Structure 1
């Protein structure tokens, strides 16, 4: 009977090398790339090596990889990690980055995730670097949590630009699609960091992307429970970045970065809320401009001396901006205290005129900016169309009012319900256009299917 040989004693951990680099620890890997913490025997310092998971097919492909990597290494931006070396060993190409005090986002996350106010400034820096790289003609193609290096000082830089082996076919359309895929991957990194667990339980963002439309049918949304409270506006931004409808996602890194920066300015660390942004613009341009024909109405007001307030109110009601301005003036705390307005709100133009007097009406009329204020022709057309709908809503409300209700009060209250939309259209016209686009339904993907609904107005506003 043969006796099997005794098992070999376990060998001590062998020291592994890639050329002059001692491989210390695997920091992360995906289907396309891997990141190693290494010791450089030449400089005796720790570096991060980022390599493709497979070797280039031949010498020409290897040389093309090295040329592309060296070209992308020259892209200089604070959001991109500076390259220490580009090289190859035994046909394994690599890009080396200084480790210094930085750790990867994957190392920082753990299972509890990262608080929004800590994470978003890092993602903003990475998105700025990514946008700069895209505008320089480079794409990343494998953004993972391990590709973001975060220093003790809070500086976040993107590593691995140009490492993933790319299919060069397709020209500019393919490059645009790859850039959009980068933005989607960055959104998935945010999802992972905020939720504390990867989307679809897949740490590799490229595998998640393959399961999202148009390649798959999965849906990725931030969970409502977790270690950290996620404010609704930020939740809408992250969910839009990973939306199942391609048309709803951020199409480039710059728009994602601006959305996140806007959240930081309003609901993040700096506080103040979106109302503060609106107030800043109102100080410069007023709540609304005078409507077309405002100069002639102002002239009529200046010529009036003893006409009744009802007739004056009819003139004011023709100008939505002037009507809102009078209500704002008369309902201000200081004004109401000085004018003896009592505790109730002033909701009629007649009452506002009685309290402010003809001189107050004149001041309000001359304080408005002429139509269309700072808007260009296209944005002015959009505002005019919205004003027409608001006036129509006021007239419909008058027709439907119950008996005994003041028609002027009903008209003004109906218009005031759209005051927020009017203010957004006037002060944030580009954002208003984005909100309308996100609210539009998408045509069905297949015959017989129903339309894909657009976002709600609130969700689209948060996402923009």
Structure 2
């Protein structure tokens, strides 16, 4: 016997007819009527027709004395139980690769209308090249009364069983990473019955593991077995996407969501344009007769056009050899970018953009509009908080770039963005956990995409050819890391923009938490940036002190009276270097 669960049995047998070893999968209970046996055989034969590289193909399907079985060739590999007995502590990347293969095959089976219903570690076959196949599809079928109409209940049973299959895969991932049975149970069906909402147990990956577990993989594993049903993966395909996204990123082969995003950039652009009158504005006169600040104001009102001009001007610098490998000649000043590209270049950039809202539905377009409004607000706050001598346009655009991954996610993957938002909503309180914590944005992104949003933005900025210096500045300060005093101009810019983004994020909290959130962010940055709560409140509420300025208008006005001696970085980003 290889496995014994409440629903099925797996035996290692010798077939004297063919002179070979087989693995025999059979239900724990005999079908309760001739009609039930015929239905069992019909479903098993239907599953046999589902062809996928990660689904083991049956050697034989039959029945003996009304006991049905599905036989598989033993040469397909050893079971996961046998592999873990021989190799008890596989690396996390290997575990993710094995489970990812299982999910690929399982997703294909679910989409074909079949379920497993008793996934166990013995259900996985691993060969010498680490190829994984799932066996036992449709062996542990639902037990219905003898008089039931099987065709009427099968579809409902498959839908309900598919979600349980996905949960069991999550338990298997927990088992491999932790190095021990979940809840000290070998039968995963016993674990499912003890978990909420059926039982009272909570399954989370512990901290004492054979190998350190990367945070994204931990978040994925914990989401798969979350105590809240709505937080779990409901589809094997969604689980696989998150796991594969992390695996590809961890293997550094540029796969997963980053490749999908770069492909969408080629077809749809980065963001849709919100400007409709740029041609009329640029058609009448040249830059010689008109100051670039007027056109800069108009361009900065359109986030997509601003990013497109930055991409084009810095790409032109790189191709002409004026931009060093570390991005020393990166231009982040819109007036300078317009002067370098000319009016025709601005017009070509505007024409290359998709009109609003691109392929988005009205609901998704409204969500993108809200995200963009938050980014604009953060840019205005960063401008108000910037130290003297720093170019306002540069500060505004770095703040935008720190949100590049969030903007691109909402435009190109609106469903994933919605999943991330849902995971960030705190679960319903219970007597045991009256104040349940919510997932952070980073943990939610890990659970959905397998990578964080900063990684998406950085990958696109690198794809655009922006230098290492800028890539450093567009990485937000981690929320769980202390804030140290800046040592360089790049540090000052990054921290100022990070503070602005955290402050605007705090404004989106429930009303009772907004003021504490603003104060907490201020305390984090107060000493390193030399700011107090009064300056922060003035920046968040500019209308109470002086007439409010739009982001473009503020961007055109850099303070001159208090400007200290210019630094090389500030000169380069503003495009004023010789």
Please report the TM-score for the alignment, with normalisation by the length of structure 2. 0.67
The answer to whether the 8 A contact 1:298-1:366 is kept is no
Residue 16 of structure 2 aligns with which residue? 41
Residue 568 of structure 2 aligns with which residue? none
Asked if residue 300 in structure 1 is aligned to residue 281 in structure 2, the reply is yes
Residue 14 of structure 1 aligns with which residue? none
The answer to whether the 8 A contact 1:267-1:274 is kept is no
Query: Given the alignment, which residue of 260, 265, 269 partners 1:282?
Result: 265
CA distance in 2 between partners of 1:420 and 1:222 (Å): 28
Residue 118 of structure 2 aligns with which residue? 142
Residue 99 of structure 1 aligns with which residue? 74
How many pairs were matched up?
A: 436
CA distance in 2 between partners of 1:211 and 1:107 (Å): 26
Please identify, of 215-224 and 239-248, the stretch whose mean Cα deviation from structure 2 is larger.
215-224
Normalized per residue, which structure has more strand? 1
Query: Given the alignment, which residue of 326, 351, 370 partners 1:366?
Result: 351
Unmatched tracts of structure 2, length 5 or more: 146-151, 449-578
CA distance in 2 between partners of 1:67 and 1:453 (Å): 47
The Cα of 1:44 is off from its aligned counterpart by: 1.2
Alignment CA distance shift 1:176-1:454 (3 Å)? farther
Residues 137-192 of structure 1 deviation map (CA, whole Å, 9 limit, x = unaligned): 33221100101112234432211222225244894555422211111001111221
Residue 3 of structure 1 aligns with which residue? none
Asked if residue 425 in structure 1 is aligned to residue 410 in structure 2, the reply is yes
The Cα of 1:421 is off from its aligned counterpart by: 0.7
CA distance in 1 between partners of 2:390 and 2:45 (Å): 75
Q: CA RMSD in A?
A: 3.3
CA distance in 2 between partners of 1:176 and 1:217 (Å): 24
Please report the TM-score for the alignment, with normalisation by the length of structure 1. 0.81
Residue 161 of structure 1 aligns with which residue? 137
Residue 378 of structure 2 aligns with which residue? 393
Residue 209 of structure 1 aligns with which residue? 192
The Cα of 1:96 is off from its aligned counterpart by: 1.3
The Cα of 1:246 is off from its aligned counterpart by: 1.0
Alignment CA distance shift 1:264-1:299 (3 Å)? farther
The Cα of 1:60 is off from its aligned counterpart by: 6.3
Normalized per residue, which structure has more helix? 2
The Cα of 1:277 is off from its aligned counterpart by: 4.2
Query: Given the alignment, which residue of 410, 417, 442 partners 2:427?
Result: 442
Residue 22 of structure 1 aligns with which residue? none
3-state SS, counterpart of residue 42 of structure 1: coil
The answer to whether the 8 A contact 1:265-1:271 is kept is yes
- After TM superposition, the structure 1 = structure 2 runs for residues 140-289 of structure 1, keeping only pairs within 5 Å, are 140-164=116-140, 166-168=142-144, 171=153, 172-268=155-251, 270-271=253-254, 275-289=258-272
- After TM superposition, the structure 1 = structure 2 runs for residues 101-140 of structure 1, keeping only pairs within 5 Å, are 101-110=76-85, 112-140=88-116
Asked if residue 31 in structure 1 is aligned to residue 12 in structure 2, the reply is no
Please identify, of 239-248 and 346-355, the stretch whose mean Cα deviation from structure 2 is larger.
346-355
CA distance in 2 between partners of 1:356 and 1:209 (Å): 62
The answer to whether the 8 A contact 1:313-1:350 is kept is yes
The Cα of 1:463 is off from its aligned counterpart by: 1.5
Query: Given the alignment, which residue of 14, 25, 28 partners 1:53?
Result: 28
The answer to whether the 8 A contact 1:302-1:362 is kept is no
Please identify, of 71-80 and 59-68, the stretch whose mean Cα deviation from structure 2 is larger.
59-68
Residues 427-448 of structure 1 deviation map (CA, whole Å, 9 limit, x = unaligned): 22232222222222333457x9
CA distance in 2 between partners of 1:159 and 1:327 (Å): 53
3-state SS, counterpart of residue 338 of structure 1: coil
Asked if residue 412 in structure 1 is aligned to residue 387 in structure 2, the reply is no
CA distance in 2 between partners of 1:371 and 1:303 (Å): 25
3-state SS, counterpart of residue 294 of structure 2: helix
Unmatched tracts of structure 1, length 5 or more: 1-25
Alignment CA distance shift 1:71-1:256 (3 Å)? same
3-state SS, counterpart of residue 25 of structure 2: strand
The answer to whether the 8 A contact 2:115-2:165 is kept is yes
Please identify, of 95-104 and 272-281, the stretch whose mean Cα deviation from structure 2 is larger.
272-281
CA distance in 1 between partners of 2:409 and 2:352 (Å): 20
Q: Quick one: higher RCO (CA 8 Å, sep 6+), 1 or 2?
A: 2
CA distance in 2 between partners of 1:308 and 1:151 (Å): 69
